[in-house]
Amino acid sequence: MKHDVMITKWMVKIMNDLPTLCPSCRSRLSVKRLTCEKCRTEVEGAYALPPLARLSCGDQAFVVSFVKASGSLKEMARLLGFSYPTVRNRLDGLIERLAEAEEGDEKR
Amino acid sequence: MTTLAPEKRLATRGPTVVSLLFRPFDYIAGTQSLLIGIVSILTAGFLGSLSRTHFDGVLDMHTGLAARRALFLAAGIINWLSLSVVLFLMGKLVSRTAFRAVDLFGTQALARWPTVIAALAALAPPFQRLVARLNVQLSSAVPAGGFSVATGDLVFGGLVGLAAALCLVWMVWLMYHSYTVCCNIRGGKALGTFIAGLIIAEVISKVVLSRFLSA
């Protein structure tokens, strides 16, 4: 239990969602500057965020786990301690959000 | 910077007692729920045969019927299959995503487990005394002095009736939860199709059981 609480607190600390929409006008944000963590070199430009990066941290963690589980929902359900349909529903929700993101890209 | 494995980021602290009681199908489905569910249905049927309590419809529970044990056992299975088949067809009709039959049939079977508690409660001696006395008095001409039952038995009978009603409400909630989780349907669409499915299944189960009884 203590370990679980620690994980939850730590998650809150490191799992800030990447802001993807402008807080002022709700338009999509893009990456302007990238920095090398070693030598501090900076690269500036206009880089659009890929659809996966626009997902919430929870969704991104789900995608990574899904790939690591070789795309097996049964294995995902076992790992996460949820039932198969619950995990399946989460994947369906994610597919919907990705489709919406792609639709938004096409409209732009 | 240290990073957590993605599955650890996603994992919860595990189900609470409340979520296991009211949202069990977030955690259990498929073959596991099917096996536990069928055992629950048969256990409720067996206990029902001892207390003469039968589940004569998807949402029905009545006491006082003298019948073969097979009927008590078959009633639960017929009720379960009636609703599962109807909800499966409803789900295929309205769900936008694919779902497995074993999840819906399994969780619908497990959703009937509160009937075990209801059948067990009906086994209590004061309730049995009350039912036996009422059966005797109702089967004969009304005595001049009116019906007479012990007050204690009457109060206990009322409590058993209340417990059974609560178990049935809980069972319906579990059936609804099973339908929404397994078929991935939410909101008004889920509620509307579930109520329609429940009514259709109730009629089907009543018809099948009445034929079974008359056979």
β-pairing verdict for A42-48 and B53-54: unpaired
A65:B11 CB<8 A: no
A81:B27 CB<8 A: yes
Q: Is residue B97 less than 8 Å (CB to CB) from chain A?
A: yes
Q: What is the pLDDT along chain B (215 residues), one digit of tens a residue?
A: 445 565 555 655 678 899 999 999 999 999 999 999 999 999 999 999 998 888 989 998 888 777 788 889 999 999 999 999 999 999 999 999 999 999 999 999 999 999 999 999 988 888 888 887 777 777 766 665 666 777 878 888 889 889 999 999 999 999 999 999 999 999 999 999 999 999 999 999 999 998 887 76
**Domains with residue ranges and CATH for chain A:** 17-107 (1.10.10)
List alpha helices for chain B, DSSP H. 6-10, 17-22, 30-51, 69-94, 101-110, 114-121, 125-139, 151-183, 187-214
Map out the domains of chain B as residue ranges. 27-76+95-139+149-210
Three-state SS at A21: strand
> Buried b vs exposed e over A1-36: b needs ≥16 C-beta within 10 Å?
eeeeeeeeeebeeeeeeeeeeeeeeeeeeeeeeeee
CB pairs A-B closer than 8 Å: 79
**Chain A 57-96, CB below 8 Å of chain B: which residues?**
57-58, 60-62, 64-65, 68, 79-86, 88-89, 92
B29:A5 CB<8 A: no
B9:A4 CB<8 A: no
